[in-house]
Amino acid sequence: MNWRGALTIYKAEMARTGRTLMQSVLAPVISTSLYFVVFGAAIGSRMESIDGIGYGAFIVPGLVMMMILMQSVSNAAIGIYFPKFNGTVYELLSAPISALEIVTGFVGAAATKSLILGALVMTTAAFFVPMEIQHPLAMLAFLIMTSVTFSLFGFIIGIWADNFEQLNIVPMLIVTPLTFLGGSFYSISVLPPFWQTVTLFNPVVYLISGFRWSFYGVSDVDIGISLAAIAGFFALCLFIVWRMFKTGYRLKT
């Protein structure tokens, strides 16, 4: 195995984050913190509590998850799209490195960035809203699984995208709506029965619900189903990436 190759990609990707600290770290932390200030501290104090949790505290897991999803997808997508765009992908394809090692390097780096951002955002949130973490290990497990899975999803988008518009279209038009409608700001139990059923087709619901359970011990759907859903999505993404490398889809001619 060429793990040194994977580590080389990982380090190069992390160095890229270091070079763009303002955009990669500061911007998502600030924008997510604004949600806490506005919805948590300002408006939240006038809202009813949900499932016995103050509104400010209720939205923290959803917001952290939203940021993690967006950042994982866009970081991993740009990570592999950029070499395709500037032509340096030839180096990856002509090096003695397997698909698994390439994916480990890119997805590992994107997931690491998401975890760092997640930690920063949760720390920031603690300044604005009272929160507790009942199941810290489960919380960490959800954070890691979500970061890795959605980085893998972003990696697929990066390979698929032929231009910058396509690169942005999936995060903007699919991930953002699914996250907003996935219970970031509300419990799905407040929806009419029909829309509750529709919502269950949104995979993000399971992530946010499970993640919120690790904080407050309450969830919209069973924690086991949440874990199964994310494991299933992970397996699906892994299969797609494997097929892409096997066939050379949009990588080789």
Shortest Å, Cβ 41 to other proteins: 39
Q: End-to-end distance of the chain based on CA atoms, in angstroms?
A: 26
- Please, what's the largest Cα pairwise distance for the chain? 59
Q: Which of 59, 63, 64, 97 binds other proteins (CB under 8 A)?
A: 97
Stretch that binds other proteins, among 39-47, 57-65, 84-92, 223-231 (CB under 8 A): 84-92
Interface with other proteins, residue 199, by CB under 8 A: no
Is residue 128 classed as helix, strand or coil in its secondary structure? helix
Per CB under 8 A, which of residues 231..250 are in contact with other proteins? Answer: 248
Cα(209)–Cα(217) distance, integer angstroms: 10
| Amino acid at site 131 | M
Stretch that binds other proteins, among 37-45, 85-93, 141-149, 187-195 (CB under 8 A): 85-93
Q: What are phi and psi of 162, to 5 degrees?
A: -105, -15
Q: Which of 52, 94, 165, 192 binds other proteins (CB under 8 A)?
A: 94
Per CB under 8 A, which of residues 15..74 are in contact with other proteins? Answer: 15, 19
Is residue 226 classed as helix, strand or coil in its secondary structure? helix
- Sequence-ordered list of residues with C-beta below 8 angstroms from that of 117, at least 6 positions apart, any chain: 25, 28, 29, 67, 68, 71
Shortest Å, Cβ 251 to other proteins: 9
Interface with other proteins, residue 221, by CB under 8 A: no
Interface with other proteins, residue 108, by CB under 8 A: no
- Contact between 111 and 68 (Cβ < 8 Å): no
- Contact between 213 and 58 (Cβ < 8 Å): no
- Contact between 57 and 129 (Cβ < 8 Å): yes
13/220 with CB nearer other proteins: 13
Q: Which of 92, 125, 139, 170 binds other proteins (CB under 8 A)?
A: 92
Interface with other proteins, residue 109, by CB under 8 A: no
Cα R_g (the chain), whole angstroms: 19
Cα(179)–Cα(164) distance, integer angstroms: 22
Q: Which of 88, 123, 163, 197 binds other proteins (CB under 8 A)?
A: 88
Q: Which of 51, 91, 162, 222 binds other proteins (CB under 8 A)?
A: 91
94/132 with CB nearer other proteins: 94
Binding interface with other proteins (CB under 8 A): 2-5, 7-9, 11-12, 15, 19, 82, 86-88, 90-98, 248, 252-253
